Amino acid sequence: MSDTDTAEGTEVADLEARLSIYRMMQEGRLFEERARDLFLQGLVKGTSHLGIGQEAIAAGFAAALEPDDLVFCTYRGHVHTLLRGAPMAALMAELLGRATGICGGKGGSMHLTDVSHGAMGSYAIVGAHMPIAAGAAWAAKARGTDQVAVCFFGDGTTNIGTFHEALNLAAVWALPVVFVCENNLYMEYTAIGDVTAVEHPAADRASAYGLEPILIDGNDADVVHTTAVRTVARARSGDGPSLVEAVTYRHGGHSRADPGKYRPDEEVAEWLRRDPIPSYRERLLAAGADEGTLDAIDRDALAAVDRATEEAREAPFPDPDTLETELWADGGSAWRN
């Protein structure tokens, strides 16, 4: 990672903001660990894609956004959605497919939306949300709302057409959008390097769209946050889009069914050592944070996850009558008279 930016020499946020970033990472981590547990208990059906190990990217950006900014993310989007301010119990209930879920149980793990908090959807078709994010950014710009769109995507997205179409359009129109590649080195089950013509799948493509290549350590929350502040400010001031490649690692496999055995043991061990949360805790302590404060954040985060879990588990399943609702603006689904 010698060619990525590090926290050294970059101006970091004040301690209060960094404690907030720590809290967000911890909430995200505990939420997803609980989701994993609920899967193992058979309470969450289907599949799920966890971002355990990648929280610094979601938190670093979340801390740099205004409440009405617009976030688009992928099927690995629990934490991004949560950190927009979506209610945790409703998110957990959605994962459990309950009526009180954020999408009434229609979406599930991979398709979370909370428009009132600027969570504009997690998208399960790789790359499909990139032009959509650009379009929302166009609307924000045209309406003069001062909002910025942030679009998270994985390294695998960089080889699909919409990635290139969206970046070109955003650059041509100088749209207020930040594209954030969460490069966790694996495109599902395949090393991204095995299927990509360049070493850095996003950053090495930036020049094709007249953009600055930005390659950062995605496990360093301070670096992510500093980059987020800079790129979001650039977008908000009308100077156009950015493409950020944040290198990270998922601690688990691609999805619930994947033990991730295709990854060398030493590689996994190295990245577990670089877990973004313990190292950030150490750094905050060194910067003068009170250990009791950090402990309280940990306790509160766990308590919040416990409450959300309890609430979600007690919630009813959706009434089958809701199956054919909300297709059209009138709330119904009349497909013929």
Partner 1 sequence: MTEKNVVTAVRDALHDEMANDERIVLLGEDVGARGGVFRISDGWMAEFGEERVIDTPLAESGIVGIAIGMALHGLLPVAEIQFADFIHPAFDQVVSEAARLRYRSNGDFGVPMVIRTPYGGGIHGALYHSQSIEAFYAHIPGIKVVVPATPGDAAGLLRSAIQDPDPVLFLEHKKTYRSIKGEVADGAYLTPIGVAEVKQEGDDLTCISYGYSLHLCLDAAHRLAEDEGASVEVVDVRTLAPLDVDTIVSSVRKTGKAMVVYEDNRTYGAGAEIASTIAEQALFDLDAPILRIGGPDIPAMPFAAPLEHYFMEPEPDHIYARMRELARA
Kindly list the residues in this chain that would bind partner 1 in the complex (CB under 8 A). 70, 103-104, 106-107, 111, 113-116, 120-121, 123, 125, 128-140, 142-143, 149, 161-162, 165-166, 168-169, 172, 325-329, 331, 333-337
For 188-222, b/e burial (b = at least 16 CB within 10 A) is eeeebeeebeeebbbbbbbeebebeebbbbbbbbb
In the complex, what is the shortest distance from the CB of residue 244 to partner 1, in angstroms, rounded to a whole number? Answer: 19
* Nearer CB in complex with partner 1: 52/95: 95
In the complex, what is the shortest distance from the CB of residue 100 to partner 1, in angstroms, rounded to a whole number? Answer: 11
**Counting every residue, how long is the chain?**
337
* Nearer CB in complex with partner 1: 56/95: 95
* Nearer CB in complex with partner 1: 258/326: 326
In the complex, what is the shortest distance from the CB of residue 109 to partner 1, in angstroms, rounded to a whole number? Answer: 12
In the complex, what is the shortest distance from the CB of residue 125 to partner 1, in angstroms, rounded to a whole number? Answer: 5
* Nearer CB in complex with partner 1: 54/81: 81
Look-up of token digits 């899967």: 39
* Nearer CB in complex with partner 1: 143/273: 143
Closest CA to 293 of 303, 305, 281: 281
* Nearer CB in complex with partner 1: 116/237: 116
In the complex, what is the shortest distance from the CB of residue 282 to partner 1, in angstroms, rounded to a whole number? Answer: 40
* Nearer CB in complex with partner 1: 101/201: 101
HSE value, Cβ hemisphere, 13 Å, CA-based, for 173: 19
CA distance 274 to 21: 17
In the complex, what is the shortest distance from the CB of residue 256 to partner 1, in angstroms, rounded to a whole number? Answer: 20
At residue 62, the 3 state secondary structure works out as helix
* Nearer CB in complex with partner 1: 85/135: 135
Within 8 A by CB and 6+ apart from 263, the residues are: 186
Within 8 A by CB and 6+ apart from 210, the residues are: 171
CA distance 126 to 156: 8
For 306-317, b/e burial (b = at least 16 CB within 10 A) is eebbebbeebee
Closest CA to 155 of 179, 183, 131: 183
In the complex, what is the shortest distance from the CB of residue 149 to partner 1, in angstroms, rounded to a whole number? Answer: 8
CA distance 91 to 32: 11
Phi first, then psi: give them for residue 240, nearest 5 degrees. 100, -175
In the complex, what is the shortest distance from the CB of residue 184 to partner 1, in angstroms, rounded to a whole number? Answer: 23
